[in-house]
Chain A
């Protein structure tokens, strides 16, 4: 049985009811990597520039396939977009974002890659700022650990880099 995720009115049980509901337009997004389907309001979905273009070009028929984005990331993204469509109070949104982005580096990068692919500027900016805050004020070693980058520099290369950037020690 196909897994169907309803984002929106929890009382609605079937696709027919959704189609008959008044003024709101609904879209189905399907992540092609793991075949999860999400039913979303069009106003929420078009926070993604990619989906917005598809809708405007008339390409968005019944189900919009979304490659490269996994189901759980899609769910989180829709949750974010929904909140940002519904809420206009800056303060509330800031608090929501802080809580929402309280994730480990792996989840953050997944979100970032997906938000970049789907062209959701608000989400991309938030995640970017969050990762930037994580590395601000840290030493190169700590940054390497946070971002899980292998140290593939030789000892000489490290020394040369340090000399060129030596003001980071003194300041």
Chain B
């Protein structure tokens, strides 16, 4: 007996909107009748964040988004567009997109939105046009011994009741040097409150080469494992990203989340990084479910998993 024929469309839409965008797409594959409900606006309107209109209104280049909106897209099309193509907002120094699986909001703070110590001095850092960066520009580390970068974002922008992970999005250049001796220190947390502190290696190969010149390659794997999650990963856009730390965003709060990276203890001159920005997006690991008790554990410094 086909129960879905019996159920009113409104009920089916309610059921699907209680699942996730990913589930809704799977439901759409089930049958044509179900598909029309699973793809409908009432369902996908629930998947879009409640403030998506305000965020779209902050877009810098209104043309592409207005072109999209003038074609009266379905809410599903709008959702997929925001998931696939980050929107530049606020003077073009920040980008907004949706996490495709969950509909939660993702942001990247471009290099111009960050506070970079000595960033205005071209002997130390150099701004460049960069078509590979979604912001059209990036900043290159020429040479500095006191490396310090601050990023700030209001938690009211983030999706409520969500565990977020922060990343440094960067590329090494041929002159990458100085990061192999000591890791970057990271601090992620609310300004004025206790934060998560970690160490990350932006140049793990350099660390391996320096410390293990004569060891066979598999010991290099051991070193990568020891650094755990803090190993750089290549993104789809070709940039590298290194995971910094997590933050659990409660519903309805308006605080300032501060992300700090710094290294000045070694006294080494560091060079050879191009920075696109700092990204913050929802965590996808299974750990997400158990965040509460785990968070306390992760507040310990220098956790290597």
Contact = CB atoms under 8 A, between A and B. Distances in A.
Contacts of B14: 124, 128
Residue of A106, A112, A139 ringed by the most chain B CB atoms within 10 A: A112
Contacts of B216: none
A148 B3 contact: yes
Interface string B146-162: 00000000000000000
Contacts, number: 87
A116 B20 CA distance: 23
Contacts of A162: 29
B269 to A, nearest CB: 42
B289 to A, nearest CB: 13
A140 B101 CA distance: 16
Interface residues of B, number: 29
A165 B25 contact: yes
B74 interface: no
A133 B18 CA distance: 8
B2 interface: yes
Residue of B1, B31, B32 ringed by the most chain A CB atoms within 10 A: B31
A106 B1 CA distance: 9
B25 A128 contact: no
A109 B30 CA distance: 18
Interface in B41-65: none
Q: Which 7 A-B pairs rank lowest in CB-CB distance, beginning with the nearest?
A: A132-B18, A140-B29, A109-B3, A165-B25, A128-B14, A168-B25, A140-B26
24 contacts: A105-B3, A106-B3, A112-B7, A112-B11, A113-B6, A116-B11, A124-B11, A131-B15, A135-B19, A136-B19, A137-B23, A138-B23, A140-B29, A143-B27, A143-B30, A144-B30, A147-B3, A149-B4, A161-B29, A165-B25, A165-B29, A168-B22, A168-B25, A171-B100
